[in-house]
Every structure is written in C-alpha cells, then in structure tokens.
Amino acid sequence: MAEKAKTAEEIAKEKRQKELAKELQATKERLRYSKRQIASVVDLNKCIGCQTCSIACKTLWTDDEGRDYMWWNTVNTQPGSGTPKDWEKMGGGYKVRFEGKVREPIKGKLPTRDEFGEAWKFNYEEVHKGSSQTTYLKPIGKEPEWGMNWDEDQGGGVFPNAFYFYLPRICNHCTYPTCLDACPRNAIYKRQEDGIVVVDEKRCKGYRFCIEACPYKKIYFNRKDVLGQKCIFCYPRIEKGVAPACARQCPARVRWVGWLDDVQGPVHKLVKKWKVALPLHPEYGTEPNVFYVPPLAPPRLDTTGKIDILKPRIPLRYLEYLFGPEAGKALTTLKAEMAKRRNGQPSELTEILIAKDWKGMFKPFDKDPLSLTWTRGKKG
Ligand code: SF4
Ligand code: SF4
Ligand code: SF4
C-alpha cells in the first residue's frame, strides 16, 4: 500500500525537530568540552578501609541539612552491594557503538533514599546522662536497614578462600558524563579548565534525570534545596593548588591526583604508560577519569589445604567484571615489576606505587591548605 504523502505542516515539524536535536547535540558537546582533564588513581592494594577519605569529604562538604545523608566519597567492601544498595544493577550509562562514535543512553533507575541510607540520628543525650550499665549508643527513629558502609568486611568466596578488598568511590568526572546528557536544563557541565563535572545550582530544578542516568549513582538529591548535588573534586582547593580532601587526608597513600596528559606525572604513568590503573566498569561507556590499580591477593588453597599457585584467590573474572578485560594484564605487570624489585633491579612502577614522597602524589596540587587564605572559611 502506498505511503500517505506528508502534509507541508508535518514536513515543517519534522524539519524543526531535526534542527532542535542538532542544536541540543551542539549544546551538549559544548558543555562536555574541556581543555584538560584532571584525574585520580586509587591503589586497591593499599586501601585499608579506614574511611578517613569519607569523613574528610563529609566534614568539608556535606555536613549540613539536606546534604547530611550524602557521602560523595564512599568506601565499600567488595564483593558487596555497595552504596546505594545494588547500584551496579540500576542501569544508566551508554551503549557504545561504532568504536565510540555513537553512545546510546541506557535507561537507569532512581535509587530510593532507603537504598542510599538515611542520615541516622543517635541517642547522644541519653548516653551522656544515662548509666553506662544500661545505656548504649544506638540510632533513634526508623530502624536503619542500609547505609554507606553496611556490609563492611563481609566479602565473598568460600572458606578457606574467602577474600575481600575495599573500593573507594567518588564521582568519576567522566569524559562522557551521562548525567550531563540527561539534564533537560543543561545544568551539568564539565569545567573547561580541568574537566571537573559540576552542577550549576542556579539552573538545576531537581528533576533527578541525572541521578537515573549516572551508572555509578554518584549524584544525590537534596530534598531541602530541591537540587542534584555531587562530588565537585574539591575544585575550590584545586584552583589554589591543593589536592582534594579525600586524597590528601588518606593515611595509606592510596590516591594520586594530577593531569591525565602530564607525561611526567604519576597519574599519566600509571594509567597510560604502565597501564596498571583501570576505569571501574568501563562497559558503562562514560570514560571515567578515576582509575584503579586492581588488587593482588594471596594464592588459593586447594581442598587439602595446600597452596595452589596457579589459581588466584580473587577470581580473575570478578576483577574483569569490575575493571574490564585488561585486569589480568595489569596484574601480570604488577607481579613482574614486584619480582624485579625483589631481585634488586630498579622498577619505576613500584617506586611510584610505594609513594615514599607523598607530596609527589599530587603535583601540581601539592600546596598545604593551612598555608592559604580561604574566603568561605572551610579547609581540610
Ligand atoms: Fe582509608 Fe585511604 Fe582507603 Fe580512604 S582510600 S579508606 S582514607 S586507606
Ligand atoms: Fe556524571 Fe556519574 Fe560520571 Fe559523575 S560518575 S560525571 S555523576 S555520569
Ligand atoms: Fe569529596 Fe572532594 Fe573527594 Fe569529591 S574530591 S569526594 S568533593 S573530598
């Protein structure tokens, strides 16, 4: 059957729709453009799960009403359900096709407040005034059912091959942020000078499409101010040459910060030269700018209790699930460089990872925050 001819009105409407789609694409490209990209590397072999990073961020940025339940920096035990609970099953991100030329958004779920965990209130008054024999510290109000660090140290595997490791997470300041694409107000953009992804709070109307779209579930809804809010990579500190609080306060020297294109810097060397630092869930298609050195682990024990050096304690398929197909190669490189060092040979890679010079982990963001003047009176 012959197709019905389009009316002039329909043709004009189609044309206008195409023009609008083109304009929107151009706007989004402008919003995601940055001249340089700041990035971070986290070594999972050194993280001790102390949560100093989480507290550093909380006391600096999210200790007020509306933000009190937010943890822009989270540290979860892997394997685990994470924060928000089961975030890896919530969708979002892109399906990448034609070698990155096409990114089709994948629909995501909006996590509930319970899946994040509330800002619990505690019975401090009762504990201070009561008898130490009968009162103890406990949350008051609704019984908590989940929280930022709920399944700490539970891990996975079966005895005697149980295992766990810690996974610190912040916003990835992605090269292709789905949050930015999803915002109908064009309120999310990458800062041109450093690629940090921020929410323009004057434009944001709290629609929460960004939260659904982010596959890492790293944007939070502020009920009080009706806004989306997220990690800002401590840009007021970055602008003054100071590393983000979560990185600088880490007692285990786990986190590097620097320009991704600085070929002399440790971030570039770990990611691009040695290729031991990998993005989390690269298949989400957003090109994260936070990278992880995957964890090594003791060898597996066989059923008789003997060491089976051929089988890793942490299954490689689990590390590939988290960090993509390059995880095995990264572990091989790490092991080879560690062996070189044990044999007394020089190893640039292990020298970087040991991080004897902690200030060198942040160059050029290595200034002492206490040596500077801060207009808003906050430093960390
Ligand atoms: Fe502690 Fe550093 Fe790990 Fe954070 S990243 S939990 S501060 S060791
Ligand atoms: Fe946006 Fe999520 Fe990427 Fe952060 S991690 S830039 S919130 S898509
Ligand atoms: Fe918080 Fe700054 Fe770390 Fe982001 S970079 S999680 S804002 S401390």
DSSP 35-73: SS-EEEEEETTT-----HHHHHHHHHHS-STTTTT--SS
Q: Check pLDDT > 90 for residue 19.
A: yes
Say how many residues make up the chain. 380
**Pairing mode, if any, of strands 94-97 and 102-105?**
antiparallel
- Per-residue b or e along 281-295, where b marks 16 or more CB atoms closer than 10 Å to that residue's CB: bbebbbbbbbbbbbb
Max alpha carbon distance in the chain (Å)? Answer: 87
**Is the CB of residue 293 less than 8 Å from the CB of residue 353?**
yes
Q: Which residues line ligand 3 (CB under 6 A)?
A: 56-57, 61, 72-73, 170, 231-234, 244-246
The pLDDT score that the predictor gives to residue 40 is 98
291: alpha, beta or left, given left = phi > 0 and alpha = psi -120 to 50? beta
Residue 3 resides in a domain:
no
Å from CA of 132 to ligand 1 middle? 32
Tokens of residue 265, six digits: 């810097």
Q: Check pLDDT > 90 for residue 355.
A: yes
Which string of DSSP letters, residue by residue, matches 247-261?
HHT-TT--EEEEETT
Å from CA of 243 to ligand 3 middle? 10
The pLDDT score that the predictor gives to residue 373 is 86
Residue 180 resides in a domain:
yes
* Pairwise CA distance, residues 84 & 148, whole Å: 7
Residue 380 resides in a domain:
no
Q: If pLDDT is split at 50, 70 and 90, which confidence band does 180 have?
A: very high
The stretch 207-218 carries a mean pLDDT of: 98
The CA-based angle 144-145-147, given to 5 degrees, is: 80
The pLDDT score that the predictor gives to residue 2 is 66
The stretch 97-111 carries a mean pLDDT of: 95
Helix (H, G, I), strand (E, B) or coil at 164: coil
Ligand nearest to the CA of 72: 3
The stretch 7-16 carries a mean pLDDT of: 91
Q: What mean pLDDT, rounded, does the chain reach?
A: 94
**Number of compact structural domains in the chain:** 1
Nearest in space to 214 (alpha carbons), one of 35, 353, 88: 88
Our mutation pick for probing the ligand 1 site, out of 40, 52, 55, counting the most ligand atoms within 8 A of Cβ, is 52
Residue 20 resides in a domain:
no
The pLDDT score that the predictor gives to residue 251 is 97
* Residue 301 CA to its chain's centroid (Å): 33
CA atoms within 13 A on the CB side of 173: 29
Better-predicted residue by pLDDT, 133 or 240? 240
| CB proximity list for 246: less than 8 A, separation 6 or greater | 53, 54, 56, 57, 73, 168, 170, 234, 255
The pLDDT score that the predictor gives to residue 1 is 60
Entry pTM: 0.94
Nearest in space to 194 (alpha carbons), one of 266, 74, 270, 289: 289
Q: Check pLDDT > 60 for residue 377.
A: no
The stretch 327-334 carries a mean pLDDT of: 98
CATH of the domain at 226: 3.30.70.20
The pLDDT score that the predictor gives to residue 56 is 98
Rg value, the chain, Cα: 23
Task: Flag the least confident range among 22-36, 123-137, 162-176, 243-257.
Answer: 123-137
Which phi and psi angles does 104 have, rounded to 5°?
-100, 120
* Pairwise CA distance, residues 44 & 328, whole Å: 15
The pLDDT score that the predictor gives to residue 380 is 42
Q: Check pLDDT > 90 for residue 5.
A: no
| CB proximity list for 330: less than 8 A, separation 6 or greater | 275, 276, 277, 278, 293, 294, 323
Nearest in space to 42 (alpha carbons), one of 73, 8, 80, 1: 73
**Residue 303 CB neighbours (<10 A):** 7
Q: Check pLDDT > 70 for residue 272.
A: yes
Task: Flag the least confident range among 78-82, 150-154, 292-296, 307-311.
Answer: 307-311
Residue 125 resides in a domain:
no
| Pocket lining: 231 vs ligand 2, CB cutoff 6 Å | no
Q: State which ligand 3 atom lies nearest to the alpha carbon of 73.
A: 6
* Pairwise CA distance, residues 62 & 70, whole Å: 6
Å from CA of 230 to ligand 3 middle? 9
Q: List Cα–Cα distances, 344 to 231, 338, 341, in angstroms.
A: 42, 10, 5
Residue 62 resides in a domain:
yes
Q: If pLDDT is split at 50, 70 and 90, which confidence band does 133 have?
A: confident
| Pocket lining: 173 vs ligand 2, CB cutoff 6 Å | yes
Q: If pLDDT is split at 50, 70 and 90, which confidence band does 379 have?
A: very low
Residue 136 resides in a domain:
no
Q: Check pLDDT > 50 for residue 270.
A: yes
Task: Flag the least confident range among 173-182, 277-286, 366-375.
Answer: 366-375
The pLDDT score that the predictor gives to residue 65 is 93
**Residue 140 CB neighbours (<10 A):** 12
Which string of DSSP letters, residue by residue, matches 74-97?
EEEEESS-TTTTTGGGSB-SEEEE
Residue 142 resides in a domain:
no
The stretch 365-376 carries a mean pLDDT of: 88
> Where in the sequence is the domain holding 97, given as residue range(s)?
27-116+148-371
Q: If pLDDT is split at 50, 70 and 90, which confidence band does 132 have?
A: confident
The pLDDT score that the predictor gives to residue 311 is 87
Nearest in space to 53 (alpha carbons), one of 245, 243, 242, 246: 246
Tell the burial category of 150 from Cβ atoms under 10 Å away from its Cβ (0-12, 13-18, 19+).
middle
* Pairwise CA distance, residues 64 & 169, whole Å: 21
Å from CA of 121 to ligand 1 middle? 25
Secondary structure element (H or E) that encloses residue 16, with its range: helix 8-31
The stretch 181-198 carries a mean pLDDT of: 98
